[in-house]
Amino acid sequence: MTDLFDPVVLGSIECRNRIAMAPCTRCMSPDFLPTANVVEYYRRRAADGVGLLISEGTVITPRGSGYLDVPGIFDPSQAKAWKRVTNAVHDEGGRMICQIWHVGNVAHRRTTGGLTPESPSGIAPEGHVSRIVNDDGQPVPFEAGEAMTEARIHEVIDLFRSAAGRAMEAGFDGVEIHGAHGYLIDQFTNLAFNHRTDEWGGIHRTRFAREVTHSVIGEIGSDRTVFRFSPLMSVANQPWLEAESTFELLLTDLWEAGLRILHASNLDYDQPILRSGPEIADPDLPLHRACRQHWSGQLIGVGSLDPSRAARAIEDHEVDVVAFGRSLIANPDFCHRLRSGLPLRDYDPQMLATLD
């Protein structure tokens, strides 16, 4: 019987157990550089015994930043700063992958360093930029920005590729492509934000995800590449339109691009997500089960998992690795607590004020 603490080889990444830290943005890296506190924050989780750390979203270009003080991986100075983190994690026996990120136009020129936000069709997402107010103290709405030209699409695909290469220079064990939560890649995938009539929209809406994945895999290999996606969960409060056909298109395209490790993101792991349809007939199918049926590669699961539900998910082979976000922010000694049968501290958003 497989349990949470059994080792797993994810692609070619040898993890000492099946517990992953989900990517969690902390906004503590001014000038795109992770600080000494960030090093210690990840070191603590690795020293506690977490098998795989997935870094917070790390931008591939300033134009892809929608929050203040997020780290980058587009410049050699950032690779050098991340190297201190990856060395610390490796010293403690952990493995770490870098989540590479472009927010699309879930942004404003105040978060992109003055650059115009970009997206597939220039449709402004609902909502406001985090932690930024205008002169009257009012929250600042996301900016529609520019629809990307064909040439710019190819440039951004190449930025993902070079960020992946830089992540390897920084000592990461691989990368996770952030294709989830309403950011750039997901904006292409979701018909609500992709109104293009060219070869990047309509039935081609998952092409951007496929080409990003293909170019990242060309740079670092399929055994080190993870793709995260989320049909339902989005910062712009906009689940996928035509979810079932999109699901099939995306999984088929990612497989053809060479992807073998999928990270299915939902806020609630057990929530029924894909409604009945010609291919996926069970209306109560949660996302991870839909993935197991339609994906022959490895799977990471996440979403309000408590340790006992997570243990069952591993035992029943629903997923290969389980990720925890808020519990690992709240409990730097998460694995110790699990092993000793101690209760977990509850997560409180106030905890985001410091990097414990």
Shortest distance in whole angstroms from residue 281 CB to ligand FMN: 27
Comparing CB distances to ligand FMN, the nearer of 190 and 327 is 327
Comparing CB distances to ligand FMN, the nearer of 184 and 196 is 184
Comparing CB distances to ligand FMN, the nearer of 57 and 72 is 57
Shortest distance in whole angstroms from residue 58 CB to ligand FMN: 8
- Active-site residue, from 41, 67, 183, 269: 183
Tell me the torsion sign for CA atoms 82, 168, 187, 275.
Answer: negative
Comparing CB distances to ligand FMN, the nearer of 123 and 305 is 305
| DSSP states along 171-220 | T-SEEEEE--BTSHHHHHH-TTT----STTSGGGTTHHHHHHHHHHHHHH
Shortest distance in whole angstroms from residue 19 CB to ligand FMN: 11
With CA atoms as reference, report the closest residue to 197 among 150, 133, 236: 150
| DSSP states along 160-180 | HHHHHHHHHHTT-SEEEEE--
Comparing CB distances to ligand FMN, the nearer of 158 and 270 is 270
Residue 243: other Cβ atoms inside 10 A? 19
Shortest distance in whole angstroms from residue 22 CB to ligand FMN: 3
Per 3-state DSSP, the chain is made up of helix, strand and coil in percentages (nearest 5) of 35, 15, 45
* CA 6 and chain centroid, separation: 24
With beta carbons less than 8 A apart as the criterion, state whether 258 and 214 touch. yes
Which three-class secondary structure state does DSSP give residue 311?
helix
Interface with ligand FMN (CB under 6 A): 22-25, 56-57, 99, 178, 180-181, 228, 265, 267, 302-305, 324-327, 352
Instruction: Write the DSSP symbol of residue 74.
Output: S
- With 0-12 CB in 10 A as exposed, 13-18 as middle and 19+ as buried, what is 135? exposed
Shortest distance in whole angstroms from residue 21 CB to ligand FMN: 9
Place of tokens 């969690």: 24
With CA atoms as reference, report the closest residue to 152 among 78, 191, 111, 102: 102
Query: What span, in angstroms and rounded, lies between the C-alpha atoms of 101 and 178?
Result: 5
Q: Is 183 a catalytic residue?
A: yes
Residue number, nearest CB to ligand FMN: 325
Comparing CB distances to ligand FMN, the nearer of 83 and 326 is 326
Shortest distance in whole angstroms from residue 292 CB to ligand FMN: 19
Which CA distances in Å does 58 have to 13, 98, 100, 320?
A: 20, 7, 5, 24
With CA atoms as reference, report the closest residue to 123 among 76, 222, 193: 193
C-alpha angle 113/116/120, rounded to 5°? Answer: 130
Comparing CB distances to ligand FMN, the nearer of 171 and 307 is 307
Shortest distance in whole angstroms from residue 278 CB to ligand FMN: 29
- Looking at the annotation, which residues are catalytic? 183
